[in-house]
Amino acid sequence: MLLLMKMLILFLFFHFTINGFSAENGNPETVVKILQKRYSRIRDLKMNFVQKYYASGRKKKIESGQVFLLRPDFMRWDYQNPHTKLFVSDGKTIYFYLADENQVRKSLVKDAQNPLFPFFFLLGEKNFKKYFAKIKWAKENPIFPGNKVLSVHIKKGSSKVTKILLEYHPFQMQMQRITTTNRARVRNDFIFTNIKENIGLMKNIFEFKIPLNAELYGVH
């Protein structure tokens, strides 16, 4: 019995050292590699999200809904509160649908210049790190106690986004918040809960059909 307890203690020690301690206290660039490797093995994700929008001189906005991600670059954001909106991308085209106005905005994905750029990290984008200028531990406290936060500065001219915060669980190595700040110093916090991985999402949920009589703006 004593031998069994010792073996259990050793197992737990090495488990948390390998999976948690090194990721918690290691070099930030190494942690990013570990996170990216982990997410490169995930086929799809389904999560609840809360988005908090901050801009100087404007009232803070809070929206929520569900997000669906499928490799290599499919995304679907279903906004449910306080208004119904839909943001869909198949990696080439982005559709943004405002249900209350029955308006559709269509645009093309242009590498890191598109607003979905930071979320390619969750899809295991292999070349994502080429946009990073500096990676360090953030001074900002995590939203979830016990989590760690990385601060990533984006190379000038490569994106409208200038800074990203990546908050992750140090043992599960699971991303639970992505915060973006753009050139106009507008900040968006995306907080993820009820995270489900590899549930078998189908490509058809990322298809978008323009609603009847909807106004279409952007590229045609």
DSSP state string for 193-209: EEEEE-----GGGG---
The reported pLDDT for the residue numbered 2 is 42
Q: List the single range of 123-127, 143-147, 148-152, 161-165 with lowest mean pLDDT.
A: 123-127
Structure tokens at 150: 């990385």
The per-residue DSSP string of 173-195 comes to TEEEEEEEEETT--EEEEEEEEE
Mean pLDDT over the full length of the chain: 85
Residues 6+ apart with CB under 8 A from 145: none
Residues 168 and 20: beta-carbon distance below 8 Å = no
* Residue 180, beta-bridge partner list: 164, 188
Residues 22 and 16: beta-carbon distance below 8 Å = no
* Mean pLDDT, range 53-82, rounded to an integer: 94
Residues 144 and 191: beta-carbon distance below 8 Å = no
> Is the Cα torsion angle 86, 90, 91, 94 positive or negative in sign?
negative
Residues 73 and 123: beta-carbon distance below 8 Å = yes
Predicted confidence (pLDDT) per residue in 165-203, tens digit = 999 999 999 999 999 999 889 999 999 999 999 999 999
Residues 94 and 208: beta-carbon distance below 8 Å = no
Nearest to 69 by CA among 210, 209, 205: 205
Predicted confidence (pLDDT) per residue in 70-123, tens digit = 998 899 999 999 999 999 998 889 999 999 999 999 988 775 456 667 887 888
User: Which domains, from first to last, does the chain contain?
Assistant: 11-218 (2.50.20.10)
The reported pLDDT for the residue numbered 25 is 57
The reported pLDDT for the residue numbered 196 is 97
Specify the residue for token string 């549930």.
199
Specify the residue for token string 């700040």.
181
CB atoms within 10 A of CB 49: 21
Residues 6+ apart with CB under 8 A from 81: 63, 64, 65
The reported pLDDT for the residue numbered 12 is 38
CA 178 – CA 140 distance, rounded (Å)? 13
For the chain, percent of residues with pLDDT exceeding 90:
62
E-strand ranges in 10-139 read 44-54, 61-70, 74-81, 85-89, 93-98, 103-108, 132-137
The reported pLDDT for the residue numbered 106 is 92
* Mean pLDDT, range 154-159, rounded to an integer: 79
| Whole-prediction pTM | 0.84
Q: Is the pLDDT of residue 125 over 90?
A: no
